[in-house]
Amino acid sequence: MNLLAQIWQSETLRKKVFYTILILVVYRILVQISVPGVDIDGVREFFTSGENSVFSMYSMLTGGAMEKFSILMMGLAPYINASIIMQLMTVVVPKLESLQKEGDAGQKKINFYTRILTVIFAIGQSYGVLYYIGSNIPSVNLGNIYDVLPLMLVITAGTMLLVWLGEQITEKGLGNGISLIIFASIVSNIPTIFSNILGSVGSITGDTGKLIPFVVFLALVIVLVILTILATEGQRRIPVNYGTGGQSMASNLPIRVLQAGMIPIIFALSLVTFPSVILQMVQPENSPVADFITQNLNPASSSPYFFAIYTALIVFFSYFYVSIVFKTEEIAENIQKRGGFIPGYRPGRETAEHLSDVSFRLNLWGGLFLAFVAIIPMVFTLFSGTLTSQDLIVSGSGIIIIVGVVLDLIRRINDQLVTQDYDKLK
């Protein structure tokens, strides 16, 4: 309550909070606007039937925008994919790497390229989703390009509008706008899921067998949230000594356990479910390959192959992403230039190797933890007997996103309050 009082007393912080809430309300209103000319009831029934686990899971991450056939049905997926690819390309393409080092001017150009790539991804992904929906729902007529192209343009424009709303929060509001929109999408599903579960218990023909597993899952979510907070805040502090003017100053270099954040799960889930998505779109008949994919590479399957491949991919992408963004040679060089050293290790190459070893060990535990949190809700639905993925208030990836966004908001608020107190002393 003391923190809320401090936020209210700070005019600047209060305005940022209200502005952020306003943008999020606008976002939720836009989600309710459906693309014209489409059988919304047929689309909603298709996504809630439980037979399309991959797209149903994606619909949950968009706050139900896909099952409403909203103008924002693609969510921020194209922008997230474009941002990750651009971040990886800054290491591979020398021109982008030099732009990254130019400060704000270079970052503006990279953001421009990211938006262009987002448009390309949004067009391609919207076509794939529309093709899939049109081929599975008879009442949705998307038989020719003249029917599909206007919808593709509307959905692409919706994605870019959503990106713009996120940027407005980042510039004028509180926190990272893109993360907050994803956070709002996940949280917006919770009241509906509670209502469905409690409604089924109260009805005469309802499935009362869902209540106990649902309560158990709520307890499991609380445990996972606590573990995720500890893992997110967990870090290895490398001691660093700096010698200036004949005096030694002790400091530390923090390396987080979850260095890659949510990105390994995004990559792994996209890759492991890609065959299922293609299969649902093509729908081949009497194919052994299709049968194997359906049974082993589907989030709704109980196959150990899926969980093993999913876990391996999360750990792999944890190493892959961190190896690109955590440049130990540059860090060691910067420490050496500032007259610093890690006790027990020579400046330069030996320091870089030590940082790489520490990062390697942390990545193993961080990747395994991400895989654990991502898989546990899936395993729970398989062995609960009654719950489906649509009955879960939040997925494993959703837990990591929610915890990360809330912790980031708390940090930003505290920083803003400290800055305000410092300004008063001037």
Interval 368-401: pLDDT, tens: 999 999 888 888 887 777 777 777 788 888 888 8
Q: What is the mean pLDDT of the chain?
A: 81
Per the model's pLDDT, the better-predicted residue between 20 and 414 turns out to be 20
Asked if 14-189 and 207-426 have one fold, the answer is yes
Predicted confidence at residue 105, as pLDDT, reads 82
| CATH class name, domain 207-426 | mainly alpha
Q: Is the pLDDT of residue 160 over 70?
A: yes
pLDDT tier for residue 421 given thresholds of 50, 70 and 90: low
Q: Which residue has the higher pLDDT, 95 or 5?
A: 95
Higher pLDDT, 90 or 61: 90
Percentage of the chain modeled with pLDDT above 90:
13
Q: What is the pLDDT of residues 97-142, one digit of tens each?
A: 788 777 778 888 888 999 999 999 999 888 877 877 777 666 666 6
* SS3 letters across the chain: CHHHHHHHHCHHHHHHHHHHHHHHHHHHHHHCCECCCCCHHHHHHHHCCCCCHHHHHHHHHCCCCCCCCECCCCCCHHHHHHHHHHHHHHHHCHHHHHHHCCCHHHHHHHHHHHHHHHHHHHHHHHHHHHHHHHHHCCCCCCCCHHHHHHHHHHHHHHHHHHHHHHHHHHHHCCCCHHHHHHHHHHHHHHHHHHHHHHHHHHCCCCCHHHHHHHHHHHHHHHHHHHHHHHHHHCEEEEEEEEEECCEEEEEEEEEECCCCCCHHHHHHHHHHHHHHHHHHHHCCCCCHHHHHHHHHCCCCCCCHHHHHHHHHHHHHHHHHHHHHHCCHHHHHHHHHHCCEECCCCCCCHHHHHHHHHHHHHHHHHHHHHHHHHHHHHHHHHHHHCCCCHHHCCCCHHHHHHHHHHHHHHHHHHHHHHHHHHHHHHC
Model confidence pLDDT, tens digit, residues 31-72: 988 887 777 777 777 766 655 556 666 666 777 787 788 889
| Percent of the chain surpassing pLDDT 70 | 83
pLDDT of 420 strictly over 80: no
**Structural domain boundaries of the chain?**
14-189, 207-426
What fold is seen in the domain 14-189?
Answer: Preprotein translocase SecY subunit (1.10.3370)
* 167, pLDDT greater than 70: yes
pLDDT tens by residue, 335-378: 888 888 888 888 888 888 988 999 889 999 999 999 999 888 88
